[in-house]
Every structure is written in structure tokens, then in C-alpha cells.
Structure 1
Amino acid sequence: MDFKHRRGHFLIIFEKISEIPILLLSIIFSAFLLNTFDTQALIPVVAILLSPISKLVNYFFTYYTLTQEHLIVESGVFNKKRIELPFSTITAVDLSQNILYQIFGVYKIKVDNASQTNEAANQSKINLTLKKEEAIQFKKIITGNFIETANEQHELAAIKGEISDFIKLGLLQSKAAYIMSILAIVGSLSSLIIPFIEGKVEGALLAALIITIIIIVYLTAVIMSIVKAVIKYYAFSVWADEETLKVQYGLLNKKSFSLQKSKINGIILKQNLLMRIFKLYSAEVIVIGYGDKSEEGGTEKAIIFPIAKKEKIKEIVNIVLPEYSLDYKLCKPERKAIRYFFISPMFIFAVICVICAVAAAIIIENYIVIAAALVFLAFSVAHTIQKYINAGISVGESNIVLSSGAFSKRVAIIKTKSIESITSTGSIFKRRKGFVSIRLGFVAPLRVANISSLNLPINQFELLEGVLKY
């Protein structure tokens, strides 16, 4: 494949589908305004057009070249920039297709490497768009692996997710964003609805109406969450060869990425409160340079399975990443350490709020503020106790396991040789009692580069020091 000083496909300009209808409306609106000579009203239209215009400029002045060992990117109009990435430093090559790309048989290619863990990540962001055959060949040259989206070997080796898994994920994941969006729409319509019911609906009927609206809003949020989870993770499959972990999924926005096993530093198991109740986990890998950029659906994650019981996650890990054992036993904080968890900003602030609420209630003779403060205090107590329950560590020769979190729990299994620093923190009094908080530092995306757990036995830090003396 001869790939020298090329721009790729022009559809990179339309990588965000959501911008297309806005763009079309802006063009129509601007044409109308030009006829009426309303130049002042063109200002918001020009603002909307800035994004596609800047992408068009970037497209015409960005060139990609593949040599035998490097990916070279040249960009800039007046201030020229040249980036050279050795193939050996590339951690992930990500293929994706939105609906428009699927129609035209085009893939968006995103290349990640270790330099993207720092503040220069956006400056070294590498995105281009190619026809399907070229995209697969491009990926093959960089990774040394031929990745076909559908072949017999993949069908036999892949571990697949079921629709029922994605429905569970939709049911159990947070609905807050959906509820806020729906309430915003309901709020905007309230000015039209209130005049029709004002004076006609009162008492118990009004209360029933409000409860009905709340139920409808929640059920709508649940349906939206399920639909999004099914569409996002449709046809999920994960498989691996000796050197590479491969994942693909998606219906409207198809995604396929390959990660070099040698660049994977750990695995993270996550549970929100509902997932903890049903003993379900989601699992993702920690890869240098992958997981800090924002996608349309949020921060990208190297998911290896969206949701499953721990036994199934363990089975998947044993197949695709056998060097990471999930057969660990956590050393938990001692019972007498729980008092140190309560020395936290949230709990102290909650206590202060209760004291202030009592004083305010005496002055204004209104005790509702006390009730509100007590609810906040109860929440902070529950939050603190959950931190105590979820804290833990397991020190091994190959992997270090660190557990943390409050209502949401996170368990990180980190490759011992990937850890670059360890930190213990604790007051003199806490150290005398034999407790410290432990933080692990390693090369990873910024959101997970430093993982910590609170008030663990100090002998675990000493054990950790011994293991890290390579």
C-alpha cells in the first residue's frame, strides 16, 4: 500500500453527525437572511459554520504518510507542524463508523500513543478517514496484524455479548443525564400546560398528576438508557491473539480497536450502586494513551466487556489476558480504622450544616432546615461507611490490586512492573495506630493514572515496597 503525503477521505469534515442538520438549517437560514439583507442576524449563523469551516481548512492542510517504521503527520496553514510516530510507540489503532460513514463504506481511524497521556494530547491527536479496504490495510501496516471485521477465525474465537447483557446495562446505569434532559423539555412546555390545568386540578388529583409525571419521566429515562446501551454495544465481541487484544461493537456508530498487550498496564472492574446490588461488573483495560479524549457519547474507554457477573469477567480475562488473575483476596481496613474515614471534608461539612440548621431553626422557628441538614448528614454517613467497606489491597509478585470508592466501587488490577511510584499518606497519630492511605502511580490515561485506597494497614505498604524492589 503506497500511502505518502495523502489527506484521506473528505468525509472527516462530517465526523459529528449531530452537526449536519444544524449546518443545513444554517445554510438555509443564511440564504434567507441574505435576501432580506439582515446582516446582523448572520452572526449566530457564522458562529455555527465555524466548526465545519475549520475542519475543512484542517482537511486541506493535513497530510499523512506511512513509511516502513513511522507514521508522519504534517499540518498547519502558516505555522507548519510535523509529527513522527514510530510504530513501536503506538498503543491503539481505533476504527469507527457513524451512519454516514457506513453508507459510503468509510472508516474513521484514530491512532493513540503514549504521548497522549500528557497535556499535549490534543496537539498530537491523529484522526483520518479512509475507504474500508485502505483503512484495514493502514491498520495492518501499523499494527502488523490483519484485522478483518468478519472472518471465520474471529467468529470462532470471539467472546460475544448478548442483547440481554446490554438491556441489563441500560437498566442499571445512571439515569441522571436522561432525567435532567427530560425535565428540561417538560419545564419548557410547562408554560403551555399550566394555563389549561390551573384552577381545574387541585388537592389529591394534583398530587396524583405530579406522581404520574414523575413515573413517566423515570420510565422514559429507563427506556432511553436501554435503547442507548443496546445501540452502543450491539454485536459486542472481544478476542485476542498472542500480541493483540481486539474489540468491536456498535450499531449506528460501529467501533473496532486493537490494543497491543504489551502496552496494557492493568484492568479496572467498575460497579455503580445498582450493579453492586446485583453483583454485576463492567471491565475495561488501562492502556497508555487511550481513554482521555472525549467522544460524542463521553470519554472513550477500552471496554473488554460491558456488564457481567464476576465469574464471567474472570473467564473472559483468563482467555484474552491470562496474565491478570482475578483470583485475589483483599486485605481490608481494620474495624478500628473506620473513625479515620469520618475525618473527611464531606462528613465534617455535614456536621457543621446540622449545627447551623439547628441555630437557624431556633431563630426563624422553622424546623424544615433541620430535616434537610439531617438528610445530608445521613447521606454523608452512608457515603463514608461505603468508603470503608470498599477499601482494600492485595499485593502480589505479578499484580497489585487496589479497591476503592463509595456508592460506586472500582477495583484496579495493575501490572506490578508498570508501577512507577507508591505513596503512603497519614498523620503521625494514624501511623502510630498502623494505618496509611496508599496511592499507586503508573503511566496511564490521566483519569486513572493515580489510584488510591484509604486507611489500609501500614504493613501492606511495607509489603508493597518489598515487591517493587525489582
Structure 2
Amino acid sequence: MDRIERNHILKIFYNMAKLIKEFIGIIVAVGFLINKIGLIGSILIGIALFILIILYEFLLWRKNFFIVGENSIYHQEGVFNIKKVEIPFERINTIDISQRLAERIFKASTIKIDTGETSNKGSELKFTLKKTRAEELRDILLNRKTGGDAEENEKFYTIKPRELIIYSLISNSVLKGIGILFVVQQFFDQYLKDFIHIDTSFYIDKLQKEDIYHAIYTVSFIVLGLIVISIFLAIAYVFLKYYDFKMWSDRNKIYVKYGAISRKNYSFDRKKIKGIHIKQTVLMQFLGFFTMEIESIGYGDEEGEKAILYPMCSSLLKDEIIKNLLGEFEYRGNIAKPNRTAGFRFFYKKVIFWAVTALVCFFIKPEFVIFTLILLLFLLIMGYLEFKNTAFGIDGSLIYMCCKGFNKTQSILKMSAVQSLTLSRTYFQHKKGFCDYSIILYSSNLGKVLTVKNLKDDIVGESFK
């Protein structure tokens, strides 16, 4: 307690890599100097710049320190612009401990501390420390006895390998696998041209000369092959991400940890959880599976950061988790759904979009119009799901919202998490007594907006009056 502590020395190399990336233009410029001042002079300039970067990063590391007090943590950073902050323990919302591959090799971890202060963007405090010290600091900040295992707390939940395989198939991970394939294809295509001297554009030109039906057959076969490969990539991605997943709780906190290469270990104060989000892809909706996330002000504001509570669970398990861990979010109030007369509003824009697309295809090549029927079917299914999934309700201190089509999201939020509720409508909606409800949540990145559309304009009640 009350001693000065600094980041792990690995932090210097992280910052150096980031700085070099930001100033890559200067490095390229030094390369051009070879023609002007010669190789030796350019190397000397490069070495001088590298030494300056090391000295600057060392100074930043030296001036970045924190002190853990009896009831608060003090942090100071900056060389020219010095920033100081002191945060009482009771204001801390979430603590996230993660390990990248390099950190696992050097037995270090990154600890991120959030208080939910809406004037800040991203994590308010972030340190790279020895793994044992990061865990010890987490226990101090959470006022929890050090060394507690999941098994010593209340019931804990794990995910079996079979469940991870199912999740990779019915979540959007397959789309990520396809994205990886496109990236690999760009590199592989270049590799084939440069080293094996096979130009894949030759086969593309040949395909274009074939009749349209044979071309569609060939493309379909290729697409099917790519989907199969992407499925294997998706399974590998999900296993690496959620390996050894565990979620458990004690009297005051909920803890989550997972990951093979990059390990995540974060915790939430139960009292400071503002809501839960229950999400389903289209296949999850059909098969009855759910992904659960937590809404905690201050966490999830950084890019790619999600407060996953449970990646995939059945309806029974979802209800059990809510009952045992998040009983205050059991919504029992009335839920308003769109009237059948509002159904048209979920379809007309999509039909107009299809009509314009079909018209363009007709002028380009009339045979293509028949294939736009697949697009029409896709849009009609999307509209139906949006109509079916839309819902809104208020019950005491809770708000229930449900929206989206292929990626259904149910949100159950505390009233205290809502910054504002907006009712908006067009002239035609007003004539029929419909409106859109938008809720802005307190957040450190200018607020998170949730919207449900085409509901009756008289369902809010007295809660916001």
C-alpha cells in the first residue's frame, strides 16, 4: 500500500511498436534519403531516431505510475501534459484482466479499470503488470479475499466443446471465417502469381465466357467450398476465443474468464450492472439459443470490447442465469407489439429497394431479373422478422426493448440507465397513431441508442412524465 508502482517493462515495447506505426512515414522518408546522403548517413539518422524513440518511451514509462491507497487508487501520467486522477474503490464498476500472447510469454497481464464516468472515453485506468500483481490488485480494488477460486464461490457455469461447435455454426462466426478467407485469398493470389506463376485471373476470364447457367453452377460450387472452409475457420476462431470459458459469482460480483491465446478475465459489481442484452442470430432464433451480454456503464466503450456474460445458452439456462445471478432483471410486465396494421411499414422500403434493383438489372441484362427474386425473398424474411421481434414495455424500474430481424436483440434495462426517451414519427405514422421509441443510455462514448419502430404512441405511461 502507498508505494509507487509502474507498468511492466513490456509496456515500453508495446508503445514503441505503436509509435513506429504512427510515424511510419518518417521511416519511409529516411529510406528515400539513401539516394541523397548515402547509405551510411541514412543508417546513422535511422539509429538516432530509434534512440530518441527509446528515450522518449522510457521517459513516458517512468512518468506513468500509480499508488494504491487504503480506499482509493491514485494515477499520474504524462511528460509535458501531466494528468492526475484519484478514484475511490467504491466508484469502480468493472475490472478487466487480459493477456495477449507476448504477455503470456512474459507472465504479464493488462488490467483495465472502469468507473462508468460518462465524461471519459474508454478505460479510465490501464496498466500492464505481472500477472500475479494484476490479480492481487483486482482483489484489492474489489475488496475481495485474494486467492478465491471459482469453485469456492456460488455455482459456476462452463461451456463444453460440443456447445462451442454449435455456437460457431449458428452465430456470425461463419461470416468472420469468410472474411478471413478473403484476406488469405488476396495474399495467396499474389503468391501464386509471383512464385508459382499461375494467374488466377485467367480462370476468371474463362468463367466469364461460359453461358450464364454453367457459370452460376461453377460459382455456386466454389461458394459452397468456401463456406465449408469458412466453417472450419469459424470453429477454430470460436475455440481459440472462448477456450476454458467460466462464469461464476459471489455475493457481490460476477466473474467471467476465457481465451486460449488472448485470455480475458473481467468482473462486474452486481449493484452497478445497468442492464442485460439477450442476442440471437437468425439460426439461434430458429433453434432457441441465446447470447447474453451485460450493460455496465464504462465497459464496452473501447473498440471490439463486449461484456459477454454467456456466449450461448438454451432458454432454460438463460432463465436460470437471470434468476440466480441477475434476479432484479426478471421482467414480468406487459409487452406491447406492433399492430397488424403497422406490418406494412416493415416491408415497403424493402420492396421499393428490390423494385429499383430489379429495374436496373432489367436494363443491364433482362435474364438477371429472375435472380433478384432471391433478394426479394431475403428482404421479405427480414421484414417479417423485424415485425415479429419488435416489442416494448415498462414495468416499474425496468424497461424491455426488442428489435432487429436477423440479429434479434432483447434488452432489459434499469430506468436509472436511461438518459432520455424520444418519441419520433413521420406524418403518415402520426395519422395512424404510430411512432418510433428511442432510448439513449448513459455511456462514455456519447450515449448508446436503442430504437424500436412502428408501435402505438400511447404505451409509455407515467414513467417518463
The TM-score normalised by the length of structure 2 is 0.81
Task: Say whether 1:270 aligns with 2:292.
Answer: no
2:423 matched residue in structure 1: 424
1:165 matched residue in structure 2: 163
Q: What is the identity, as a one-letter code, of the residue corresponding to 1:467?
A: S
2:338 matched residue in structure 1: 333
Structure-2 change in CA distance of 1:372 and 1:131 (3 Å) = same
- Alpha-carbon shift at residue 356 of structure 1 (Å): 4.8
Counting aligned pairs with the same residue, the percent is 24
1:9 matched residue in structure 2: 8
SS of corresponding position for 1:193:
coil
Q: Which runs of 5+ in 1 are unaligned?
A: 23-29
The equivalent position to 2:63 in structure 1, one of 56, 61, 64, is: 61
- Alpha-carbon shift at residue 56 of structure 1 (Å): 5.2
1:74 matched residue in structure 2: 76
Counterparts of 1:221-260 in structure 2, within 5 Å, are 221-260=230-269
Structure-2 change in CA distance of 1:215 and 1:49 (3 Å) = farther
1:90 matched residue in structure 2: 92
- Alpha-carbon shift at residue 430 of structure 1 (Å): 2.2
Is the Cα–Cα contact under 8 Å of residues 114 and 298 in structure 2 kept in the other structure?
yes
Is the Cα–Cα contact under 8 Å of residues 270 and 282 in structure 1 kept in the other structure?
yes
The separation in 2 between residues aligned to 1:45 and 1:373, in whole angstroms, is 60
RMSD of equivalent CA atoms = 3.9
Q: What are the superposed Cα offsets for residues 399-425 of structure 1, whole Å, 9 maximum, x if unpaired?
A: 211000021110000113333322111
Q: What are the superposed Cα offsets for residues 70-92 of structure 1, whole Å, 9 maximum, x if unpaired?
A: 32221112222212223222211
1:312 matched residue in structure 2: 317
SS of corresponding position for 1:245:
strand
Is the Cα–Cα contact under 8 Å of residues 438 and 452 in structure 1 kept in the other structure?
yes
The equivalent position to 2:288 in structure 1, one of 269, 276, 279, is: 279
Q: What are the superposed Cα offsets for residues 160-218 of structure 1, whole Å, 9 maximum, x if unpaired?
A: 2222222222112222332133234334444443479869x997999887655434422
Counterparts of 1:451-462 in structure 2, within 5 Å, are 451-461=450-460
The separation in 2 between residues aligned to 1:208 and 1:293, in whole angstroms, is 44
Is the Cα–Cα contact under 8 Å of residues 398 and 413 in structure 2 kept in the other structure?
yes
Counterparts of 1:197-212 in structure 2, within 5 Å, are none
- Alpha-carbon shift at residue 326 of structure 1 (Å): 5.2
Structure-2 change in CA distance of 1:251 and 1:75 (3 Å) = same
SS of corresponding position for 1:333:
coil
Counterparts of 1:335-350 in structure 2, within 5 Å, are 335-342=340-347, 344=349, 347-350=351-354
Is the Cα–Cα contact under 8 Å of residues 435 and 454 in structure 2 kept in the other structure?
yes
Is the Cα–Cα contact under 8 Å of residues 6 and 65 in structure 2 kept in the other structure?
yes
Structure-2 change in CA distance of 1:286 and 1:196 (3 Å) = closer
The TM-score normalised by the length of structure 1 is 0.80
Q: What are the superposed Cα offsets for residues 95-114 of structure 1, whole Å, 9 maximum, x if unpaired?
A: 12233333433222111122
Task: Say whether 1:138 aligns with 2:147.
Answer: no
Q: Comparing 131-140 with 44-53, which one deviates more in the overlay?
A: 44-53
- Alpha-carbon shift at residue 447 of structure 1 (Å): 9.0
SS of corresponding position for 1:467:
coil
Structure-2 change in CA distance of 1:325 and 1:214 (3 Å) = same
Counterparts of 1:23-34 in structure 2, within 5 Å, are none
Q: Which runs of 5+ in 2 are unaligned?
A: 22-29
The separation in 2 between residues aligned to 1:382 and 1:66, in whole angstroms, is 55
The separation in 2 between residues aligned to 1:415 and 1:157, in whole angstroms, is 25
Is the Cα–Cα contact under 8 Å of residues 292 and 447 in structure 1 kept in the other structure?
no
Q: What are the superposed Cα offsets for residues 367-393 of structure 1, whole Å, 9 maximum, x if unpaired?
A: 145446555444433333322111111
- Alpha-carbon shift at residue 446 of structure 1 (Å): 4.4
Q: What is the identity, as a one-letter code, of the residue corresponding to 2:261?
A: L
How many residues are paired up? 440
Is the Cα–Cα contact under 8 Å of residues 183 and 217 in structure 1 kept in the other structure?
no
The equivalent position to 2:308 in structure 1, one of 288, 303, 306, is: 303
Counterparts of 1:317-466 in structure 2, within 5 Å, are 317-325=322-330, 330-342=335-347, 344=349, 347-358=351-362, 361=363, 366-368=365-367, 370-371=369-370, 375-444=374-443, 446=445, 449-461=448-460, 463=461, 466=462
Is the Cα–Cα contact under 8 Å of residues 354 and 377 in structure 1 kept in the other structure?
no
1:26 matched residue in structure 2: none
SS of corresponding position for 2:138:
helix
